[in-house]
Amino acid sequence: MIVAAKTPVVVPSLLAGDLSRLGEQLDSVKAAGCSWVSVDVMDGHFVPNLSFGPDFVILAKKHGFFVDAHLMVANPEAAAPWFASAGADIVTVHVEAVKDVKSALRGIRALGRKAGLAAKPRTPIDAILAVLDECDLALVMAVEPGFGGQKFMADMMPKVSALRAAVDARGLDCWVQVDGGVGLLNISQAVAAGADSLVAGSAVFGEKDPVAAFRALEAKARAADGD
Ligand code: DX5
């Protein structure tokens, strides 16, 4: 099956949002053309941080976004249904956390949501390639998950390219996502490696002017894609 290449999408992460005015921030980037946001879910066990519950997916859906819920949790099979019923369009689990990867991904699709699979930096990309046909999104972490504002790990880009090659060779309709330390200095490298979904927290909501920051990232990503 030939699947049209996807134009790279910049996906602001709520993790860097100002919780006292998150709705306002969401509306502002939406007005600038942002259509997809990422909700980083952390349980203090799989990663040493605690973040959002399903209510933040509900908030983002209320503001009209396509939403991926990135579950950095020790028991993703138990948590996935909560985020699916909160309206997440994509529920992404970590290959390191699930007991049975194929059944976890099929379980998410059975809930009527798209299934994402993420790999931490030290996890070989073969762990995702082995079940890529079951994925609607494949996520390469460019930082150790748990906190925003970390340094982008450029040595993760070969994993992105391996995913890109497999998605294209198999004609899969699957996003290739990069998350962690994405910003103006490295987004072109991530797109050139084959990413078409770029999660950015600090580089958007961590900036004084998130709208300008979003627009600059998007322009850079599209330029790198030859737009
Ligand atoms: C890490 C988080 C972050 C977040 C993006 O666990 O997943 O990568 O989404 O944060 P920045 O863009 O600030 O690295």
DSSP labels, 101-170: HHHHHHHHHHTTSEEEEEE-TTS-THHHHTTGGG-SEEEEESS-TT-SSPPP-GGGHHHHHHHHHHHHHH
- β-strands 114-119, 90-94 pairing: parallel
Is residue 12 lining ligand 1, measured as CB closer than 6 Å?
no
The whole-number pLDDT of residue 1 equals: 59
Residue nearest to atom 4 of ligand 1 (CA): 148
Give the separation between CA 57 and CA 77, rounded to whole angstroms: 17
**The token pair that represents 219 in the structure block:** 């322009």
Residue nearest to atom 6 of ligand 1 (CA): 145
CA angle 31, 69, 158 (to 5 degrees): 95
Domain range list for the chain: 9-225
Contacts of 96 (CB under 8 A, 6+ apart): 46, 119, 120, 123
Give the separation between CA 178 and CA 161, rounded to whole angstroms: 11
CA angle 37, 120, 10 (to 5 degrees): 25
Residue nearest to atom 8 of ligand 1 (CA): 180
Q: Which of 10, 11, 13, 39 to mutate to test the pocket of ligand 1 (most atoms within 8 A of CB)?
A: 13
pLDDT in tens, the chain (227 residues): 566 778 999 999 999 999 999 999 999 999 999 999 999 999 999 999 999 999 999 999 999 999 999 999 999 999 999 999 999 999 999 999 999 999 999 999 999 999 999 999 999 999 999 999 999 999 999 999 999 999 999 999 999 999 999 999 999 999 999 999 999 999 999 999 999 999 999 999 999 999 999 999 999 999 999 87
Q: What is the pLDDT of residues 183-194, one digit of tens each?
A: 999 999 999 999
Residue 95: phi, psi to the nearest 5?
-60, -25
Give the separation between CA 217 and CA 186, rounded to whole angstroms: 10
Q: Which of 179, 182, 187, 205 to mutate to test the pocket of ligand 1 (most atoms within 8 A of CB)?
A: 179
User: What order of strands is seen across the sheet that includes strand 114-119?
Assistant: 9-12, 197-200, 175-179, 137-141, 114-119, 90-94, 66-72, 36-42
Domain 9-225 top-level CATH class = alpha beta
The whole-number pLDDT of residue 151 equals: 98
Residue of 43, 68, 179, 196 with catalytic role: 179
The whole-number pLDDT of residue 2 equals: 66
Is residue 179 lining ligand 1, measured as CB closer than 6 Å?
yes
Give the separation between CA 84 and CA 89, rounded to whole angstroms: 7
- Measured in Å, how far apart are the chain's first and last C-alpha atoms? 24
* Phi-psi domain of 64 (left: phi exceeds 0; alpha: psi -120 through 50; beta: other): left
**What's the whole-model pTM score?**
0.97
